[in-house]
Amino acid sequence: MLFVLFLLSLVMTDAVFHSQHCFESKRPEWMCNYMKSNDRMYPSESEFKKIENNLIRSHTVLASYKVKNVSFALSEEVFVPNHHLRKHRLKKTNPLTGPHKLLSLKRSRGRFDWRRYHGAVTPIKNQGPCGSCYTFAASAALEFWSNLHRRDKHSLSEQIVLDCTSKPLGENYGCEGGWVEEIFDYAKTHAVGAYLNYPYHASNGSCPTSLVPSRVQVLGHRSLSTYDDQYAERRLAYIIRRFGPTAIGIDVGTTELLFYYNGGIFPGDACGKNIDHAVTIVGYTPTYWIIKNSWGKKWGVNGYLYLERGVNACGVANYVNFITKAKPLPNVPKTCI
């Protein structure tokens, strides 16, 4: 019996694919060093081959650009186009005008970070293999208003707004992308439930037909863009401080460097301005924006991006949507459809 167990252990050990096997198989040295330095092992060589192309792609991208004072990391994940914000329309909702436009030109010196306020910013989440970035950006803004002045702080359900704002019920496209402002419009009259009651499963589903305990109602929201306002980025700091975490769009696809961002202040000349991914600004310093992403805690700085401020880096002010007024609800039953 002991001999059989010994043989099984030899077979299992031999099946594991680790850095030594990588060197022996004459794979690129950088790849084997990655496995060795990160103590990476895989159940078999065939399992390793499933992520090998992702490593090669990330290495190719990072070798094509030289960016100072920013750290990057090879990635075993695949970042596919359907992670992105829908490109073919920039819907403008109540463009910023009137007194707010004048007030927002006041300079916001120093730094501000909503993460310092309990419940204002919920933990980092992961959208997975679903192009639902717009739901996470919208939820981050909604969560601020939902948790305002209440003791029971909760994350909201991205799944409900994913399923209930997509065609044929709404204008979004589920895991194939959508727009933040459609979710803000939805939250004016329909239910936005808690994540615990309606957890996210990274795929399209059916909108609930029963009454759902809703936690927040949007009463007003507005948009801002450099296409209409040359001072759009200058207004951002005021908007964030006055109205809370703010949903924006950035360009991640032009250079793809942001896929592998691992720390530092990401410069504006390392990306384009063709926005394709929705995120949320939660604060700022004199030199960079503090941006909450939806790619998990292992990406970036514990899930956050520090993006250069003042140069419209990655199109940070090309697509801005923010809530101007909303109220938390005591789990009032509402319809989703």
Are 34 and 121 found together in one domain?
no
Are 22 and 130 found together in one domain?
no
* DSSP characters over 313-331: GGGTTTSEEEEEEEEEEEE
Instruction: Spot the catalytic one: 22, 32, 130, 133.
Output: 133
- Give me the pLDDT at residue 69, please: 87
- Give dist(CA 299, CA 225) in Å, integer: 27
Residue-range definition of the domain harbouring residue 30: 2-64
Are 60 and 186 found together in one domain?
no
Are 238 and 208 found together in one domain?
yes
* DSSP characters over 115-156: GGSTTTSPPP-B--SS--HHHHHHHHHHHHHHHTT-SS---B
**In this structure, what DSSP letter does residue 198 have?**
S
Are 51 and 110 found together in one domain?
no
The count of domains in the chain is: 2
**In this structure, what DSSP letter does residue 270 have?**
G
- Give dist(CA 199, CA 197) in Å, integer: 6
- Give me the pLDDT at residue 82, please: 44
Are 183 and 325 found together in one domain?
yes
- What tens-digit pLDDT sequence spans the chain (337 residues)? 554 444 444 444 447 888 898 998 889 998 898 888 888 888 888 888 888 888 888 888 888 888 888 999 888 876 654 445 655 445 545 555 444 554 555 556 689 999 999 999 999 999 998 999 999 999 999 999 999 888 889 999 999 999 999 999 999 999 999 999 999 999 999 999 999 999 999 999 999 988 889 999 999 999 999 998 999 999 999 999 999 999 999 999 889 999 999 999 999 999 999 999 999 999 999 999 999 999 999 999 999 999 999 999 999 999 999 999 999 998 888 888 8
Are 88 and 132 found together in one domain?
yes
Are 129 and 178 found together in one domain?
yes
- In sequence order, which ranges of 190-336 are alpha helices (DSSP H)? 232-243
Return the H-helix or E-strand segment holding 286. Answer: none
271 given a catalytic annotation: no
Other residues' Cβ atoms within 10 Å of the Cβ of residue 228: 13
- In sequence order, which ranges of the chain are alpha helices (DSSP H)? 2-15, 19-24, 29-37, 45-64, 99-103, 133-147, 158-164, 180-189, 232-243
**In this structure, what DSSP letter does residue 85 have?**
P
Are 28 and 120 found together in one domain?
no
Are 189 and 247 found together in one domain?
yes
- 107-141 in b/e form (b: 16+ CB < 10 A) is ebeeeeebeeeebbbbebbebbebbbbbbbbbbbb
Torsion, CA 173, CA 206, CA 327, CA 108, rounded to 10: -30
207 given a catalytic annotation: no
Question: Is residue 73 domain-resident?
Answer: no
Amino acid at 209: T
Q: SS3 for 92?
A: coil
pTM of the model: 0.88
Question: Is residue 303 domain-resident?
Answer: yes
- Give dist(CA 180, CA 184) in Å, integer: 7
Are 54 and 85 found together in one domain?
no
Are 330 and 257 found together in one domain?
yes
Q: SS3 for 332?
A: strand
- Give me the pLDDT at residue 98, please: 45
Instruction: Spot the catalytic one: 83, 84, 221, 277.
Output: 277
293 given a catalytic annotation: yes
- Give me the pLDDT at residue 193, please: 93
- Give dist(CA 261, CA 284) in Å, integer: 18
What are residue 327's DSSP bridge partners?
Answer: 217
**In this structure, what DSSP letter does residue 83 have?**
G
Question: Is residue 76 domain-resident?
Answer: no
Nearest of 135, 245, 253 to residue 201 by alpha carbon: 135
